[in-house]
Each structure stands twice: as structure tokens, then as C-alpha cells.
Structure 1
Amino acid sequence: MVPGSFRSTRGDARRSTSLALLLAGTALLFPAPLSAQTAPTPTTTYGTVAGTGTAPTATATATSATTPAITDPQTTGAVSSDDLTPASNEDYLRQNQREPTIDGLRLRSYNPEYDRAPGVRIGTFTLRPEVSETINHEWRKDGDTKTNRGYLETGIRGTLTSDWSRHQLTVTGEGVLQNNISGEGEEEPRADVDAELRLDLWDETVARLRAGYSFEREDADDPNAISNAKDQSAVNTYRLGAAIERDFGLIRGSVGIDFDRRTYGDVELENGTNLSVKYRNRNTGTLTARVGYELSPALIPFIEGSVGKSLYDLREDPLGFERSYQTYAGRGGIELDLGEKLYGELGIGYETYNFEDGRLGDISGLSVDGRLNWSPQRGTDVLFAISTDLNPSTTPGDAGSIDYNLTNIITHQMRSDLVARLTNNLTLRNYPSDARSSDETTWRTGAGLTYDINRYLALTGDVSYERTTRDRGDTTDITRIGVGLTLRR
């Protein structure tokens, strides 16, 4: 062999070895940029991995080759490690996917407050006022006598609600003023204000403080009304109440006391003189206790008892009758709460008024009280209500009457801006202790529409019919129709 050629071969070998070592070192020092710039391709190496005795697979080689990507792949063209997984990153973050609708339509969000006026913010309270103005016409028929009148009715109503983290104060008010513009008829103004303060006390204990005021003019059809009056008496009612409620596990109990003060203004007679009826003024206090047992959160039977006393300002009326009386009542019933679809309560019992004057017979009878709210579908609400009232009388020798009131109100949202309503009411008035007084049956029905021009302004229309039938044969028919605007804030 030629010596020169031997040296040349050894030099080439050393240069090849040095070049291989340099490339290997470069790959070891900079693995990330190399793998980030070029997506690795699965390869298979024939042979065995040291220490395992098994041949490596393409999947294993690809997995081991993935490395963190460069910070900004959009500018560098780098491939993120998340892009190499079989599913997107969102699938890993949301394991429990939302169930689709049955018909495959997109879900639409529903906000019941969307079309409601926002109200006025006053500190920690929200005031929602409404002002309405309607023009109405009324036709009235008493036996063979017919009258009619046209009148404007102005209404003001509103709610004031607190926004506290604990406790709550709610104030509701409504006032109506009528002004005749044609024909003849008695104007019927009225007002009502109620406030309730709920105090969230300790350990499932709630206290409620109530106050209220009502004003109305006595109806000419009322049995206690003066027959030859131009304007009937103005009736003022003042209310105070307090109650405390507590849950004892499955047992719920409450006790409350209520005080009412009722006063009557002078009656203006047709000859221009005034007649005082202050002998009808009285104070009434009632104590009520109630105990219920929770069979389930939706079903709670209860028993309730009450006792009360009514004292007139004058011990005797102008005819010498002592009208003060005691009241006793007891009933049992059930509370129902199936959520927004169906909730309410119904109670049945017995109630009696015992007068201090022995010449006046007691007023006693079956007492039925309840209220049931039913929503067969969204936008439709149905109310069924029944109540029993015992009304003392000021007619000579007459103790009073038992009144049963049945009410049904249906409200249906025909469109998002159009609401229809249908109202029916039946009143049965019975005089159990006086055969001279005639029992009465009054039926009222009405229908109306409210069209929301926007969330602040609405157009309203109403029509109603009322018929009163008495056992002695005479009847009274009243028909009303009206249209107006309601401004909200």
C-alpha cells in the first residue's frame, strides 16, 4: 500500500467523525426549534430498543417527538401541541356538553323584565309608577228607571320595593278619581295603600309588620246605603298588623294580630242637607294563630283559629241597638306549592258574630276561603279565588249578612306586546237572621285588552257587565265601556 494514500484515508475518516459529532451536538442543543419548525413524521426503526426487547411503533415515535411550540405560532408558522391531539382544546374543557333541543332549533333566551319599565331608583329602593287616563260610558237600569253617564277616570298606581341584602319593605298604592262629563250618576272615587316590612330574624323566623289605608264611597246598592242620598257616605279604613312565623322542622307555626279602624263620613241628601252616620264608626281587633305540617315541600295541611272583638264609638245607635260584637272562627285547609305552574291554598271552617244586644240574632255560617293560581302554559295565568265575609248591618233589627265571593281572572299574552284578560265574579249575599231583608246575587263579567306601544306607554280597552238580582224580584243592570292610555316609568 502506498503510504500517502493511507494518511489520506485516515484524515477523511477523522473529518467524517468530527462532522457527525458536530451535527449530533447541534441537534441535542437545539431540539425545540428544529421540531417546532417541521412537523415530525412517524418513522419506524428496525431493531429493538435497549432494555425493552420490543420494536418501537410509529405512534410512540411521534408522541416522543412533540415539544412545546414557539410563543407566537401565527407569526412563525409553528404548530401548537394542542393541534396534534385528536380533539380540540374546547372538548377537554367542556366534558359535559349541553343537551340540544328535541326539534334541533336554537335556544332563545327569555328575560321577563325585558318589556318592563325600569322604574326610578331612589337610594336602595325602586319605584315603579303608573298613570292612566280613560274615557268611559256607563248605562244603568234599576227596574224601569234608566240612567247613563260619561266620565273620565284618572288612575295613579305604583310599587316601591327595597333592594336590601336582608329584610324587605314593599309599598303598593292605587288611587282612582272619576269626573262626570255627561249624564247623571254617582262618581266612585277610591284609594288603597299598603305597606309590609319583612324582618328576617334568627333560625327560620320571620316577622311581618303591616300598615294600610283605604278610601271608597259606599255603593248605592249596599244594604246599608241611604235611599234618598245624593252622595253616599265616604268610608275610611285604617289598618295595622303584626305577625311572626317560624318553622320547627316539619311543623310551621304563625301568630298575628290585626287592628282596623273604620269611619263613615256624612251623607249628602237630595234636599241639600247632610246626615251624620258616625254611629257606624268602629274599631276591630283580631288575633289569629295557625299551625301547619309539611307532608312534602309542595303539600302542607294546616289548622287555623281566630278570635276578635269589635267596639263601636257609640254604645247604642239612634234606635237603641248595641252593635258591638265578638267574632270566633276556625278552619282547616291545605297549602299547595308546585312552583309557578300551580300554587295556592284552600281552607274550610265555621265563623260566627255574637252581638251584645240580645235582640240581634247571631251571624253564623260556613266559611270558605282560598286562592289558587294556575299557569297552563307560558303567558297564560288563571286565578281562582273564594272568600267569605260577615258584614254587620245598621238596618233596624237586622244583624247583617254572610257574603260569599267567587272570582276567576284569566290573563293571556297573545303577543309579546298584546295581553287579553277575562274576569268573572259572583257574589251571594245571605241574611240568616232577618227575613225582612232580601238575599242578593250579583254577577259581574268583563273583558279587556292591553297593547304595549313600548315599555313606557300602553293602550287599554275594557268592557264589563254587572247584574244584581234580589229575592223580592227587582234587578239592577250596569254596562260599562272604556278606552284609555297608561304611562309607565
Structure 2
Amino acid sequence: MLRAEPLPGIIADPTLPPKDSLLRGSIDPIVPDTTIDPLTGRTLGADAERPFRRSAQKEVAEEVAASPGKSAQNDENPASDIVTGALPPRGPDAAARASRVPAVGQDESMEQARRVGGDDIAHEENPFDPLGIRAGKFIFYPSMETGIEASTNPYRNAGGESGSRSISTLRLRAQSDWGEHEARAEGFATFEKDLSRGRDDILRGGFDASLRYDFIDGYALNAGVNWRAERETGSSAAGPADIANDPLRHDITGTLGVSREVGHLRLETEGKVFRQIYGDAELGDGTVRSQKERNSTLATARIRVGYEISPALVPFVEGEFGKRYYDEQGGDDMDRDADRYALRGGIAVDLGEKTKGEIALGWLTERPEDDRLSDVSGFSVDGRLDWSPMRGTLVGLTGSTTVESTTAFGESGSLLYALRLNIEREVRHNITAGLTLGADWRDYITQDAGEQKLLAELSATWWFNRQLGLTSRLSHERFTSDLPGRDYDSNSIFVGITARR
């Protein structure tokens, strides 16, 4: 049986849930059209924000501006502020809340009357929230986590043996304090060292940045850049199976878009360029094999039209078209360049700080230039929903549909459906807990085969003070495939120290 080659993708930050390297281990990770934040499961980079609609908070801010005697404080529902603590105000209602946010470094308590779930609750600033470091109009949040993981299958490979490894991660997050405009950035670097069998050290990292700039007359500019770099396992690389090294892969995404409000219409257009670069693979006999035929560039354009039936509900339709280009033609002498099309319809919900998100249903396809290759097409479901049912609790649900192209002989690719549920709870001021549940399903187009992955992770952090905490994670992963030699199970426990500012 011919073996399809899944494409690489999201690179998970092992220090924070959820683990977003989808279907990793004996197969390539996958790159969906949107990247999932490893802490909250929200979409990062270019698709992180789609501010083409006027939010409920903006309605409140406009009403307060028109009525100076009215208290804006009594018109908001900042459930997430209670969790994030020292984070600066942001979004359309930032100006209305700026005067009520404590200065960075301020350590005294601050009583605020908050309406959460319809109840007036006096909220005291969490004394264990990070203060951050203010530099001009930006606030920086550095952190470091280091610890030991013991696992029955630490590298998630078929037939993998138990072992342990040390995992250390440096992270730096930056948030602007500009009022109406917003800029965000986050970078991380993770170092893994095998403590059992002397496996090669692994270094990976990533960077995300996004910018929203509001112009006059309802115009807004949205831009983003995303970069990830990691090592592939030998069993997931293209070519012969006897690969001795772990080839390096780079995933780079850049986006630029403009949104406009015209009465009740919400208009948005966005361009995206996604680039994948693969390093050389060293074979078991010492020879080096180039993987340049796997390098590709996907350029797309998306147009969305929405109609605001209320400040909280905006139904929309959107179309997407683009082209995938390969640097070199593969050994099977097939032209794998492909045209990309998508049509979706959905609804965006904005109920203030309580509930936000959107869901879109449609059809997604990539059509290779070579007639001998089948189209990679199927039903698509994409969306995210953030919900705060009570003070100190955040629930996030995300889903994505991805076209995976491939350079395997005679194969077109596959479709990947991914779902993540993340729950974060502030048990006490100094104890935070999290639960992540996930399910992935891959459907091969030219083979009667599929692959499934189920994962669950429970995490907790006990903060000694603002700067230092004890972190632990317990996780389980189960991967099953219709293709032989891919199934695996993994149970892991991680214990470490987290330091932050």
C-alpha cells in the first residue's frame, strides 16, 4: 500500500495547554489555516482578530460618551479582566476603562464594583497576578518554566519506549497600551534534553505578532506575522525510512487586511502568504538527501461581508481563493501546484466580556494542476468561542479544517479536522487549574484510510507569590490509524517551576 505523507504544521509549546501539534509523533504535524494559541486555544497571528464588526463594548463606550453622567463601570461585564488581572485594558472600550486599571507595579488592593453574570461583585485585584514591565506604551511579561517529564512514550512514536526528559521554555509576551489601537507579540524558545537514552537535544521556537490600527470613517488595518521552527522526527520526513537526523522545518505566515464599517455592513478583505521550508535529511548510510521538493508557498485572498442585525450578532459570508506553489517538481514528475477555493457562511457573536466568537460552515478545496492527482476537497467547519460562565472561569472552544498537500508518490493529500476544548479556572488567588480535551481526524483523499487522535490534559499551578510557582501537568494521548505501524499511546506527567515578572 502506498503511504501518504502528511504535511507538517502547528508546533506546540509543551509548557502550556493545549498541545497543538496535531497528530504528531509518527506522522508530520499539521499546519491549519489558523494557528492555535498554546495557552488558551485561541487563534493566533493573522486570524487572531477580525474586528470588522462593532462590538457591544463600543456601543457602551459611545453611549457613555454621549451621557457624561452615566457610569461606564456599571455597563461592562469584565469577567476576563478578573482572570487576567494586571493586563491593560484593550479593545473598543479600552478608553472607558483605562482610568480604572491600576498602574503597572501598583501592589495595593483596588475595590471595583463589577457586574458578572448579572450580579454586582466587589472584586479585589489578585495579589498573585504578574505585574509586567512597562516600557513606554508597552507592557512586557517575561516568564521561564523548567521541569522534568516522565512518559510512557515521550516522543509519541509507534512502539516508543518509556523515558524522561527535561523541558525548559523561555517566553516573552508584549501588550500595547494604546487605547483604541492594539499590538501584541509573543515569542518562545523551548529546549528539550533526553535523560534516558541520550537522544539528540531538541530546540524549537516561535514568534507571533499582530497589529490592529483603527482609522477614521470605520476603517481598520489588520496585520500579522507568525514563525515557527522545530525538528521533525525521522519517521515523519519524506523519502526513505532510514533517516538518521531530525530535519529542521520552518513555517512562516504573513497577513495584511483592511476592514470597514458602512452602516450595518461589515466588510473585510485579507491577504495571506504561508511559506514552508524543509531542511536536508541525513540517511542511515551517511548520505544527505535534499527535501527542497517539499518547500512550498501558499498565497490566498479572503473577502468577507457581514450584516449587523444587532451589536451582538453579525451573520456573514466569505470567499477565499489562492494558489499553492512548489519550489521544485517531485520525483514522480507530477505538477503539484494547486488552485485553492473556499466558500463559507457563519455568524459572529459578541456579548461583551461574557461571550465572544464565531463559527463558519462551508466547502474547502485544492485542485492540483496535474490531472492525475485528485482534488483535495471536503466540508469545512471553522470557528472559536470564548465564554466566561462565572468569575474566574474561562472556557474556549476552537475548531479548524485544513487541506494537507503532500509530495508522496501518486498522492494528493488529506483533510484534517481538529477540535479543542480548554477550561481555565482560578480555584484560589494563588491556584490556577486547566483542562484540555482534543480530538483530531484525518481523511486521506486517495486511500480508504483515516487517522484519529484523542488527547486529555489536566494542569495546575500553585503560585508562591507573583514571581514563582509550582506547575504540574498530567496528560494522555491515543493515536489510531488505518495505515500499519502508526498507532501509539502515551501517558505523561510533568513537574516544574515557573518564574515570571
The answer to whether the superposition gives a TM-score over 0.5 is yes
The SS at the match of 2:371 is: coil
Contact 2:478 2:489 in 1 (8 A): yes
Q: Deviations over 1:198-230 (max 9, x none)?
A: 222111111012222111223566485853223
Specify which of 316, 321, 326 is matched with residue 307 of structure 1: 321
Match of 1:335 in 2: 348
Q: Distance in 1 between matches of 2:126 and 2:283?
A: 50
Distance 1:275 1:303, change over 3 A: same
Q: Which of 346, 354, 369 is residue 367 of structure 2 equivalent to? A: 354
Deviation per CA, 1:89-135: give whole Å up to 9, x if none. Answer: xxxxxxxxx9x99xxxxx87424564322112223321111111111
Match of 1:122 in 2: 135
* Alignment gaps of 5+ in structure 2: 1-73, 75-112, 115-119
- Given residue 216 of structure 2, which amino acid in structure 1 is its aligned partner? W
Contact 2:385 2:397 in 1 (8 A): yes
Map of 2:190 onto structure 1: 176
- Asked if residue 280 in structure 1 is aligned to residue 294 in structure 2, the reply is yes
Deviations 1:391-442 (A, max 9, x none): 001210010000000111111221111111111111100012234xx31011
Question: Between Structure 1 and Structure 2, how many residues are aligned?
Answer: 383
How far apart are the structure 1 equivalents of 2:432 and 2:267? 39
Matched, 1:476 2:463: no
Residue in structure 2 matched with residue 237 of structure 1 by the alignment: 251
Identify the structure with the greater helix proportion: 1
Higher-RCO chain (CA-CA 8 Å, sequence separation at least 6): 2
Q: Deviations over 1:319-359 (max 9, x none)?
A: 21211111000100001112222221110000100001111
Corresponding residue for residue 102 of structure 2 = none
Q: Is the 8 A contact 1:218 1:225 kept in 2?
A: no
Give the letter aligned to residue 357 of structure 1: D
Structure 1 residue 459 corresponds to structure 2 residue 475? no
- Distance, in Å, in 2 between the alignment partners of 1:383 and 1:335 is 15
Checking the alignment, whether the CA contact within 8 Å between 1:443 and 1:466 is kept in structure 2 is yes
- Secondary structure (helix, strand or coil) at the match of 1:376 reads coil
Contact 2:321/2:340 (CA < 8 Å) preserved in 1?
yes
Alignment CA distance shift 1:226-1:334 (3 Å): farther
Distance verdict in 2 for CA 1:226–1:337, change over 3 Å = farther
Does the 8 Å contact 1:148/1:183 carry over to 2? no
Give the match for residue 380 of structure 2: 367
Instruction: State the Cα RMSD in Å.
Output: 2.4
Deviations 1:24-43 (A, max 9, x none): xxxxxxxxxxxxxxxxxxxx
CA drift at 1:195: 1.4
The residue number in structure 2 matching 1:8 is none
Alignment of 1:205-244 (within 5 A): 205-219=219-233, 222=236, 227-244=241-258
CA separation in 2, counterparts of 1:413 and 1:222? 39
1:187 CA drift (Å) = 5.7
Write the letter of the residue equivalent to 1:341: K
Distance 1:472 1:277 in 2: 24
> How does 1:184-223 map onto structure 2 within 5 Å?
189-219=203-233, 222=236
**TM-score normalised by structure 2 residue count:** 0.72
Unaligned runs of 5+ in 1: 1-97, 102-106
Kept after mapping to 2: 8 A contact 1:371/1:383: yes
Distance 1:384 1:221 in 2: 31
The residue type paired with residue 273 of structure 2 is F
Report the AA paired with residue 459 of structure 1.
Answer: L
SS in structure 2 at match of 1:110: strand
* 2:307 alignment counterpart: 293
* Alpha-carbon separation, structure 2, partners of 1:338 and 1:345: 12
Per-residue deviation at 1:161?
2.1
CA distance in 2, matches of 1:187, 1:459: 25
Q: 1-side partners of 2:237 and 2:290: how far apart?
A: 17
Residue 91 of structure 1 corresponds to: none
| 2:277 equivalent in structure 1 | 263
Q: How has the CA–CA distance of structure 1 residues 380 and 144 changed in structure 2, closer, same or farther, with 3 Å as cutoff?
A: closer
Give the TM-score of the pair, scaled to structure 1.
Answer: 0.74
The corresponding residue for 1:59 is none
Q: 1:139–1:147: 8 Å Cα contact kept in structure 2?
A: yes
Query: What residue in structure 1 maps to residue 5 of structure 2?
Result: none
Separation in structure 2 between the aligned mates of residue 144 and residue 194 of structure 1, nearest angstrom: 32
Q: Which has the larger radius of gyration?
A: 1
> Does structure 1 residue 412 correspond to structure 2 residue 425?
yes
**More displaced stretch, 290-299 vs 205-214:** 205-214
C-alpha distance in 2, partners of 1:258/1:370?
Answer: 18
CA contact (8 A) 2:394 2:424 kept: yes
Q: Do the aligned partners of 2:193 and 2:200 also contact (CA within 8 Å) in 1? A: no
Question: Post-superposition shift, 1:155?
Answer: 0.5
Provide closer, same or farther for how the CA distance between residues 335 and 108 of structure 1 changes in structure 2, counting only shifts above 3 A: closer
Counterpart position of 1:249: 263
Aligned CA distance change for structure 1 residues 224 and 300 (closer, same or farther; 3 Å): farther
Q: Structure 2 CA distance, aligned partners of 1:267 and 1:207?
A: 41
Instruction: Return closer, same or farther for 1:155/1:114 CA change in 2, 3 Å cut-off.
Output: same
Counterpart Cα distance in 1 of 2:235 and 2:273: 27
Moved more, 267-276 or 138-147: 138-147
5 Å-filtered alignment, 1:395-406, equals: 395-406=408-419
Q: Residue type matched to 1:252 in 2?
A: R
| SS in structure 2 at match of 1:229 | coil
Matching of residues 380-391 of structure 1 within 5 Å: 380-391=393-404
Q: Residues 248 and 391 of structure 1: is their aligned pair in 2 closer, same or farther, counting only changes over 3 Å?
A: same
Q: Residue in 2 aligned with 1:81?
A: none
Distance in 2 (CA, whole Å) between partners of 1:442 and 1:337 is 32
Q: Does structure 2 conserve the Cα–Cα contact (< 8 Å) formed by 1:456 and 1:488?
A: yes
Closer, same or farther in 2 for the Cα pair 1:189/1:226, shift >3 Å?
A: farther
SS in 1 for 2:195: strand
SS in 2 for 1:232: coil
Q: What SS does structure 2 have at the residue aligned with 1:279? A: helix
